[in-house]
Structures are given as C-alpha cells and as structure tokens.
Chains A and B, each alone.
Chain A
Amino acid sequence: MIAELGLAALWLAAALAALQLVSGALGLTERGAVLGGAVRPVAVVQGGLALLAFACLIYVFSVTDLSVKLVALNSHSMKPLVFKIAGAWGNHEGSMLLWVTVMGLGGAFVALVEKRLPERTMLATLAGQAFVSLGFYAFLLFASNPFERLSPVPMEGNGLNPLLQDLGLAFHPPTLYLGYVGLSIAFSFAIGALVTREVGPAFAKAMRPWVLGAWIFLTVGITAGSYWAYYELGWGGWWFWDPVENASLMPWLAATALLHSCGVLAARNALRAWTIMLGVVAFSMSMIGTFLVRSGILTSVHAFAVDPQRGTFILALLAIYIGGALVLFGLRAATVTEGERFAFVSREGALVVNNVMLSAILGIVLFGTLYPLFAEAMGAKVSVGPPYFNPMSALFAVPMLVVLMVGPLLRWRRDKFGRVGRGLVIPAMLVVAGGIGVLVLGGVALLPWIGLALSVGLGWASLLPLKGRNLRRTPLPIWGMVVAHFGIAVALFGMSSESAFSVEKLVAVRMGEVTQVGPWGVKLDTVEPVAGPNWTAMEARLLVRYGIDGKVTRMLPQSRSFWAPPQQTSESALLTRWNGQLYAVLGGEAPKVDGEKQSRWQLRLWWKPFAPLIWIGGLLIALGGLLALLGRVAADVRRIVAKDKIAYRREKQGR
C-alpha cells in the first residue's frame, strides 16, 4: 500500500514538473502571462510530492517490506535500523529517487524564498529546473522504478553490501547529493538568465548563496567520503582517484570556480558570459558524474548495477541537457553585453587565474577519468591512476596556490604589487624556510616537498586580509574567505605530510610479540572472536605505546565476516594524537611454518604524521563557506526588513 502511495506521488510530481515547465515557458509570453502565477506554487507542491515518495521508500525499507523488489534485493531483516534506512539510498533506484527529491526540494525552496530577481528570470529559472527534473522523473518511472513489487515474496532479503554498512554511509550520500543536485539551481539560474538576457551584478548576487549552499554540501560530502574510504577500506589511503571520487571532485572544481567568478560579477560586473558558462558546466559535471557512476560503465564500489538500458537513458538525458544548454549558450552568449574592464594586477586578475587554473585541473581530471572509456572503444584496456593525476593536477594547482597568497590582498579594478609586497615578505620567507627545512630532513619526494613548503606560507598569507581590520566589525564573508583559504593550507599540509612522512609496516606476529612502527611500539595481546548483529569477527587487542615511556593504549582492529551477502571487511582501528594518526589493520592468520606451535597473525600498521589535518582542513573550507553564506543571507534579510519598514511607514504617512 505504502509502495503504491509512493509510486503515485512520484507520478503526480512528474506531472506537476511538466505543468511547471509549460506554465513557466508560456508565462514568459504575453498571452500566457496569467499562467506565470501558477509556477511558484506548483514548484512547491512538486517538491513536497517528491519528498513524500522518498518518505514512502524509507518506510518500506525500515519495515523491510520484502514484497518490494528493491528491498528484497538490497536489505535484510537482521540489520540495524539505521542501516535499513540508509539502505534506501544505498542502491541505484533509491539513490536516483533521492536525486529527484533533492532537485524537487531545491526548486521548491527557490520558489518560496527567491524574490530578488525579475519575475521573468524566475519563471525561466523554474521552468529550466522543471525541465531537468522531468527527465530524471522519466528515468525513474520508466527505467528504474524503486517501488516495483516482487511476486512471490521471498523469505529473506539479499542484504546490503557490507562495505556500505557503516555510519559514514548514512550521511555521506545525502550530503553529496545536496551538493550535486544543488548545483542544478545554478544551472537553472544560468538558463533563466540566458533566456531573459538578464546577466549582471543583481543576478550574481541572487545566484551566489545557492551556489555557496551547494558548494558547502559538496565540500563536506567529499571530505566525509574521503575519510570513509580511509578507514573503511583499510588500505591506508585517503584518495584513490577512483572514477567515483573524480565524479564528485569535478563538480566541486567547477563550483569553486563559479563561486569566485560570481564574486567578480557581483562586485565588478565583469566575467559575465564566463560565469554563465561555469553555471552550465558545474551541473553538467554533476550529471556526467551520475552517468559514470550509475550506468555501470566504470568499475567502482559505487557502481551498483550494470544495465545497458539505464546507461543509454542517462546518456540521452545528458545529451539533451548539456547539449541544449550549450546550444542556448552559443546562441545567446554573443548578446550578453560586455563586462567591465580591469587590469591584470587586480583582484579580478587573480580570480581569473583561479578560474583558469581550476578549469585546467577540471579538464585534467575529466580527461583522465574518461580516457579508459575511449581506450576501451579502441580495444585497449587501461586504467589511469595517481602517476597521472598527482603530477598533472599539481602542475596547475601550485601556480594557483601561489596566486592565492597574493590575490585576496589586491584591490578590485587596479592595484600595484608594491602596495601589497611588504606584507608578503614573511610568507615568502616561510616558504623558503619550510622548503629548506624539509630538504634538511631529507628523503621527501618533489610534490610533498612543494606542498609542505607552500602550505606554511599559505597558512600565514591566508590570514593577512584580517591585518589592520577591527576583527569584531569584519564582515562575515571576509571571515569566511579567510577561514576557507586557511583550510586549504591546513589540508595541503596534512596531505603533504601524510605522503612525505608516513611509515608503513607489514608483519606477521605471535601473541605477546612487540613490533615497531615509527615512534610506536605495538604489542599483539590477544586475538579473539566477537559477534555483531549480522557479522562475526576476529578482533585483535593491540597494546600500543608512543615513544619509550608513553601511556599504553588499546586498539581493537577487526576482520569481519558478514553473512548477508557473504563478504569480509577489515575494520581498521585508528588512534589519533595531536601530531598524527596510528592506523592498524588485522589481516588473516599466517600459515604455520614447519615446526611452529603458535600461530602468527598478519598486521598492517601505518604511522601517519598530521594526517587528520586533511579532513580538518576540508571541514574548515566548508566552515568558511558557511560563514560567507550566513553573512550574505543576513545582509539580504536586513535589506528586505529595511525595505518593508520603509514601505510600511510610507503607507502610514500616506493615509
């Protein structure tokens, strides 16, 4: 019953999306202007219906209604409730439903609160949003219906991939989706602006909070995903350049560029066509990511199902939306009037460098991700990994970070290096000192060396915009910029330190034996079986000690066996200190060498100095975005309140 309700809600939502598209488009014409009034309410109800459908899916998952095919395939009655709920989006159909739900809610939210733009632009924007939604509704209803029934009803479900049975999963995909799909709002704004030719500072100011919001969720989602891969896969790495990771990185790169170009458009009315272009590209990257992940065309933990029909369907959607938006851009870009001019040495100049470099990195990542597909079409099976991505992206990231030290200090329009030069002496010296310091330590590869040296100077330089300001009266967006840029320095330091100074040890030890990894002494105390709700495990008790006279701490890595579906995972154990993280993985029992009585257990240990800074930095970047968003929204609210007050007084006096 509930499943049918969900399906009905989904159909209704799709119908309303069609209505929203038609009335929005007709509302732009003179004869259909009366229809324009329907667009906002329709958008709100459409969002509500999509949410209802999603709630229905969560319900059938939480009660494990096995007559629903999706539940039978992906859930199991013997599973903690939180993973039953998370299972609702831990599969292809459910995640696509989450996608359209977020998209519908995004449109509803815009329809409710966005009042700054001319109504014509809003109509075009909401029609654009409905147009994109409609395609994904069709995809759900025709090619991946999440509410399909199953007959006969099976006795038990297949269960959820154990790798995904983790609290990180409960929050990682929804966060990432809010970011991915939130960019659809920027896309629709760009479409709206192209249709009505209203591109200017007001447009950028209206679009910026939406981009910021999506970007914050993307940043948090990527950071969380990276940490999840780090501790759950048990491989000791935090970024694998996996196609799916790239699929989330590419929209982030585009959104970051968009955020900065929005700033230029809002403050200086320059980079008009470019900003629109980035709005189109950012969401296109989200869709390409979805295609790569959901079509099963690439291998990954995230590629749920291989179904050629679905791949073709998403590819067609991609062609329609990206192609359509680019054609519209090509037709209208020439009519978007000239922006303001500026000198090379200026805030805009620095932001252009930021934009070009981010786009170049985006190109590098996109190229590397798609190359295996092209190669396979040519008959060669290849994969592309860190040896390509690391140096190639660094080639563009390093100059960008150097400009990042200077850019925020420059004035808009025109500036001289002489004015800001003195402030940069200390950061420059820090870079040199850091470089020499690491060189003295020795044994560090080129990229981490550059990263370490650069991060120290960048950390200092990122705080410089606060110099000479009254900290209490500094506007929130400035704080946001400083915090986010400082976060980049922190994350860069963490990444470089992790790759430069990590110590790895792989051993087979007897119980009671002590092994050294970096500054740590690790003793294998016992290995005992333990059981969870839907798994059994071998759990090692490690007693670890930092240095010679440190406190003894316990670590409990597990090697887990799930039975539905049957699979083994290693649950790593992490011990965090202020200066790094000790990472322990329990392997299997080593085969006995002849004459041996006691068995040996495989242990894989890493000491990773300052590794947690990677994710702390990521969160700082997101926090910076949040501060900026709060500042912008607060300013808008104040302006609206003031406007209302003035209007109210005028009305009173008029009487």
Chain B
Amino acid sequence: MATVAKSPIKAKHQRLVLLIVALVVLIGAALLAAWALRNQASYFYVPSEIVARPPEPGRAVRLGGMVEKGSLKTAADGVTINFAVQDGKARVPVTFKGIVPSLFVEGSGVVAEGKMGTDGTFVADNLLAKHDENYVPREMQDMSREQAQKVMQETK
C-alpha cells in the first residue's frame, strides 16, 4: 500500500478500496461467526431426547426436566449432589458440585447446563431453577405448560 502515497489514486478508488476491505472483513466475520455458532451453540434437550440421541461427550448442552422425587442425594463432601432429571418418558442421572439455587427441590423444574459424561451421567456446571414470577428460563416456561402437569402426576 506504500505505493498509494507515491502515485496518488483517485479519491473514488480509495473509497472503493476502503469499502471492499471493510466488506471483506465484515463478511469474514459473519462466516466465522456462522461456523463457530454451529460448533459452539449449546442445544437444549429433555431427558427422552438426550437418551435417544446423546450429544457427543464434552459438548456443552443444556438439560431441562423435573427433579425426580427421592433421587436427590448429597455426597460425603457436602457440596456434590446427585439427582435424576426426568420428563415422564426417560430419566437421566445428574451430578453437580456447587451451591444449589434456593428453589431447587425435588419435584420442581430445573435446567442444567453442562456436558454428558461418557458413563451416561450428565455433569452440570450450573443449575437454573425457577427464580421468581418474572424470571423463568424460557425452555422451562414451555415445559411447564406442555409437560409439567403430566410429569407432576407421575412423580407424585
């Protein structure tokens, strides 16, 4: 580009060059973004889906369902909990290390963020429970409408 200074090109051409450079970068960014999103977006599963078609181990996904009654156990270290999430058709064991949200109890809805382990256990990094009226994970909102009733009856 050093030649630009020596042999001045027309203003119109410079504008064109700038425009093309900007477009190339932005389109490049868009393509990269599309590619990365395919690989990095974290999909939402309910237990029956994750059992039928498990995602490859190590891929970040989210699992939503009802916490099965009587499945919640705290390990000896006091901070690791194990429970099962079910949707009435299938159940998935989940393990989580951390402080659970206050509204996380057996029989309530939960969305777990994490990865599927090789042994079929879901390893959660984060649990989202229903916080309050105005803040409900969207998936859970649908779920409670579609499935909660049925699930609640079965778990009772």
Chain A residues near B (Cβ < 8 Å): 161, 163, 298-301, 303-305, 338-345, 352, 355-357, 359-361, 363-364, 367-368, 371-372, 375, 380-385, 387-388, 391-392, 395-396, 414, 506-508, 561, 565, 567-568, 570, 585, 587-588, 590-591, 593, 600, 602, 604
Query: What are some 15 contacts across the A-B interface (CB < 8 A)?
Result: A304-B134, A356-B26, A363-B29, A382-B42, A382-B44, A383-B41, A384-B37, A384-B41, A387-B60, A392-B36, A506-B97, A508-B77, A591-B74, A593-B78, A600-B78
Contacts of B138 in A (CB 8 A): 298-299
Known: A367-B37, A600-B78. Is A339-B11 also a contact (CB below 8 A)? yes
Q: Is the pair A363, B33 in contact by a Cβ cutoff of 8 Å?
A: yes
Contacts of A568 in B (CB 8 A): 101-103
> What's the dominant secondary structure at chain A's contact region?
mixed
Q: Is the pair A364, B132 in contact by a Cβ cutoff of 8 Å?
A: no
Q: Is the pair A367, B33 in contact by a Cβ cutoff of 8 Å?
A: yes
Instruction: Identify A381's interface contact among B1, B15, B43, B134, CB under 8 A.
Output: B43
Per-residue CB contact flags for chain B residues 1-30 toward chain A (1 = under 8 Å, else 0) read: 110110011011011001001100110111
Instruction: Identify A565's interface contact among B1, B22, B102, B132, CB under 8 A.
Output: B132
> What's the dominant secondary structure at chain B's contact region?
mixed
Minimal beta-carbon separation of A653 from chain B (angstroms): 45
Instruction: Identify B30's interface contact among A363, A591, A604, CB under 8 A.
Output: A363
Size of interface on B: residues with Cβ below 8 Å to A: 51
Most buried by A among B2, B21, B29: B29
Q: Is the pair B25, A360 in contact by a Cβ cutoff of 8 Å?
A: yes
Contacts of A163 in B (CB 8 A): 131
Cβ of B57 within 8 Å of any chain A Cβ, yes or no, is no
Distance of A361 Cα from B132 Cα, bound (Å): 34
Cβ of B90 within 8 Å of any chain A Cβ, yes or no, is no
Q: Is the pair B98, A506 in contact by a Cβ cutoff of 8 Å?
A: yes
Distance of A375 Cα from B28 Cα, bound (Å): 21
Distance of A461 Cα from B33 Cα, bound (Å): 31
Instruction: Identify A368's interface contact among B5, B9, B37, B133, CB under 8 A.
Output: B37
Distance of A384 Cα from B33 Cα, bound (Å): 11
Distance of A604 Cα from B135 Cα, bound (Å): 24
Known: A341-B11, A343-B4, A590-B79. Is A371-B41 also a contact (CB below 8 A)? yes
Contacts of B5 in A (CB 8 A): 343, 414
Contacts of A340 in B (CB 8 A): 11
Cβ of B137 within 8 Å of any chain A Cβ, yes or no, is yes
Cβ of B99 within 8 Å of any chain A Cβ, yes or no, is yes
Contacts of A375 in B (CB 8 A): 41
Distance of A397 Cα from B82 Cα, bound (Å): 41
Distance of A305 Cα from B139 Cα, bound (Å): 16
Q: Is the pair B79, A392 in contact by a Cβ cutoff of 8 Å?
A: no
Distance of A336 Cα from B134 Cα, bound (Å): 48
Q: Is the pair B40, A161 in contact by a Cβ cutoff of 8 Å?
A: no
Further 4 A-B residue pairs, CB within 8 A, beyond A343-B2, A368-B33: A364-B32, A506-B98, A506-B99, A565-B132
Distance of A371 Cα from B131 Cα, bound (Å): 25
Known: A381-B44, A382-B42, A383-B42. Is A305-B134 also a contact (CB below 8 A)? yes
